[in-house]
């Protein structure tokens, strides 16, 4: 690609190099061809744009990339020579590669034949093995970061978001190749790179992304929830061994993938990658290569699918046993309902249901929690207007509780792209406490009692009323109904997914 005429950096000297030509867009910045003036040598220069480099975090990321790549002295990895900052520009000076990226090759050819793809992936796996042995996870393995020079040499590049194994979690990478745990902030793990390796291999052989998506959020959810695609569905001529290897690489959890890049290399070196039958191997005098790493034990839970009649009988028995007790419900039942609704939010936060099946019930549970605490605070069982206007402190507590509850629901259910269960649970706890105190304070408004003694008297009074009205039996019925629904009603179970007869994960 020629340099844009309007690029202000062409002809300028940045660090020890003169910038001569724009080459491409790279991670976090542009890549140029330049000349190292002191060494009189052509080099590649990555420049981070001024609007971006102002952030100290980005500068540190650039330095991290250079230092990580500088440790990796291997012919399959693009070498880094120097790094620095000059004015607003942060730069990395790298080995200049003449050729094209795998991404450009795929745009030009759409897909590769199996022997050619195998050769490229063998070199990429070897480069990853070198990085992993040094404790470095690339975290952005994709065709755009694989360079193929004019002699056919394959090199991996751009360690811009690389991180040490087990370091602080950070959601970053390219969503079309991103492992499920990486999208949700899992700690850097070499098996994350292997997932991206498998997704890239699938693309090379089929010309299609494993999980086509119209948005970032949709792609992340498909990588997490959708069944693993079978490469032979796109091209039946590919071997079963290749299909099983890609499926194992793209398993949903790290433990179900090969344990290291070295194991992947052994599988790639197996004759089964290109040869289907045992007879063909014997004719050529070849021996079977190393088998794929064994899969996890396939022990799914037994499926529970009761008939409609059994459900009706169960509900009828529970109704006869417990529903009459609710005729004597008291105000304290509303407080209990608030806590019960809060506890019901947890299955929706942690569940794997997608779309409206998780969002609508979770929103309903949140509204029930807010309404229950508010109803507890009203003085009469049917009087929806407080006898006296609540104080500003009561309104603040109720408003804070409602805001924390809404934020908890957003973080735990609706914001699926950067979902934070820990923050959601903290916000839920704040919502429960604030709404409970707000409801109790609302009940005290108009009574003229001091706040803290009034709260204690209210707790004692409502507790006695709850016990004397058989409240424990009422809520025991609710607990039995909820527990029974999990035992007697059908629910979604994890099912073992197999491709070509091999266990590859759980769908």
Q: For residue 368, what are its two tokens?
A: 């029930």
Residue 35's nearest CA partner among 78, 2, 81, 71 is 81
Q: Say if CB 467 and CB 461 are below 8 A apart.
A: no
Using alpha carbons, select from 204, 124, 138 the residue that is nearest to residue 174. 138
The rounded distance, in Å, linking the Cα atoms of 232 and 305 is 33
Strand partners for 163? 137
Per the CB < 8 A criterion, the answer to whether 350 and 421 are in contact is: yes
Q: Which helix (H) or strand (E) element contains residue 334? A: helix 332-350
- What sign has the CA pseudo-torsion 445, 447, 451, 452? negative
Q: How far apart are CA 372 and CA 345, in angstroms?
A: 14
Tell me whether residue 48 is exposed, middle or buried, using C-beta atoms within 10 angstroms of its C-beta: 0 to 12, 13 to 18, 19 or more. buried
Q: Which of 209, 299, 311 is nearest to 250 (CA)?
A: 209
The H-or-E segment that residue 81 falls in is strand 80-86
Provide CB contacts within 8 A for 101, sequence distance 6+: 24, 143, 144, 145, 146, 147, 148
**What is the Cα–Cα distance from 483 to 260, expressed in whole angstroms?**
42
Of the candidates 180, 161, 128, the residue with the CA atom closest to the CA atom of residue 26: 161
| 3 state DSSP class of 416 | coil
Residue 26 bridge partners (DSSP): 29
Bridge-based pairing of strands 146-149 and 99-101 is antiparallel
How much of the chain is in helix, strand and coil states, percent to nearest 5? 50, 15, 35
Per-residue b or e along 484-502, where b marks 16 or more CB atoms closer than 10 Å to that residue's CB: eeeeeeeeeeeeebbbeeb
Total residue length of the chain: 507
Q: Which residues are catalytic?
A: 140
Are the CB atoms for 488 and 211 separated by under 8 Å?
Answer: no
> What span, in angstroms and rounded, lies between the C-alpha atoms of 415 and 405?
14
H-type helices in 214-355, by residue range? 216-225, 231-234, 240-249, 261-268, 278-283, 308-322, 332-350
Q: Is 177 exposed, middle or buried (0-12, 13-18, 19+ CB in 10 A)?
A: buried
Tokens 């019960």 — which residue?
340
């Amino acid at each position: 690609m020629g340099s844009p005429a309007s690029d202000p950096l062409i002809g300028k000297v940045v660090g020890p190099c003169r910038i001569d030509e724009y080459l491409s867009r790279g991670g976090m910045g542009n890549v140029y061809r330049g000349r190292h003036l002191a060494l009189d040598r052509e080099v590649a220069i990555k420049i981070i744009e001024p609007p971006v480099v102002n952030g100290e975090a980005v500068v540190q990321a650039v330095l991290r990339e250079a230092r990580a790549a500088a440790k990796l002295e291997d012919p399959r990895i693009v070498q880094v020579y120097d790094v620095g900052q000059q004015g607003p520009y942060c730069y990395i000076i790298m080995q200049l590669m003449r050729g094209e990226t795998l991404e450009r090759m795929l745009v030009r050819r759409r897909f590769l034949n199996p022997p050619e793809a195998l050769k490229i992936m063998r070199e990429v796996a070897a480069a990853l093995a070198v990085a992993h042995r040094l404790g470095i996870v690339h975290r952005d393995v994709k065709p755009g970061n694989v360079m193929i020079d004019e002699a056919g040499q394959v090199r991996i590049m751009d360690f811009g978001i690389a991180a040490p194994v087990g370091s602080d979690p950070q959601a970053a990478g390219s969503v079309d190749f991103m492992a499920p745990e990486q999208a949700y902030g899992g700690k850097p793990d070499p098996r994350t790179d292997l997932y991206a390796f498998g997704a890239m291999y699938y693309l090379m052989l089929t010309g299609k992304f494993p999980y086509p998506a119209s948005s970032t959020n949709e792609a992340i959810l498909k990588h997490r929830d959708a069944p693993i695609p079978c490469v032979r569905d796109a091209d039946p001529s590919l071997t079963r061994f290749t299909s099983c290897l890609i499926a194992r690489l793209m398993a949903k959890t790290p433990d179900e993938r090969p344990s290291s890049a070295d194991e992947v290399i052994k599988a790639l070196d197996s004759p089964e990658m290109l040869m289907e039958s045992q007879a063909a191997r014997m004719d050529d005098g070849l021996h079977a290569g190393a088998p794929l790493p064994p899969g996890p034990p396939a022990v799914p839970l037994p499926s529970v699918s009761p008939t409609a009649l059994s459900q009706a009988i169960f509900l009828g028995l529970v109704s006869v046993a417990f529903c009459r007790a609710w005729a004597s419900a008291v105000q304290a039942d509303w407080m209990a309902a608030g806590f019960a609704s809060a506890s019901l939010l947890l299955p929706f936060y942690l569940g794997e249901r997608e779309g409206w099946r998780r969002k609508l019930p979770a929103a309903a549970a949140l509204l029930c929690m807010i309404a229950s605490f508010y109803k507890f605070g009203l003085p009469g069982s049917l009087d929806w207007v407080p006898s006296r206007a609540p104080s500003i402190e009561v309104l603040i507590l109720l408003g804070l509780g409602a805001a924390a509850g809404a934020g908890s629901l957003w973080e735990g259910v609706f914001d699926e792209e950067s979902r934070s269960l820990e923050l959601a649970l903290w916000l839920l706890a704040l919502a429960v406490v604030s709404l409970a105190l707000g409801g109790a304070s609302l009940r005290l408004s108009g009574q003229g009692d001091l706040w803290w003694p009034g709260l204690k008297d209210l707790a004692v009074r409502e507790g006695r009323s709850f016990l004397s009205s058989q409240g424990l039996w009422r809520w025991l019925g609710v607990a039995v109904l909820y527990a029974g629904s999990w035992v007697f009603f059908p629910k979604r179970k994890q099912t073992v997914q197999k491709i070509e007869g091999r266990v590859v994960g759980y769908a």
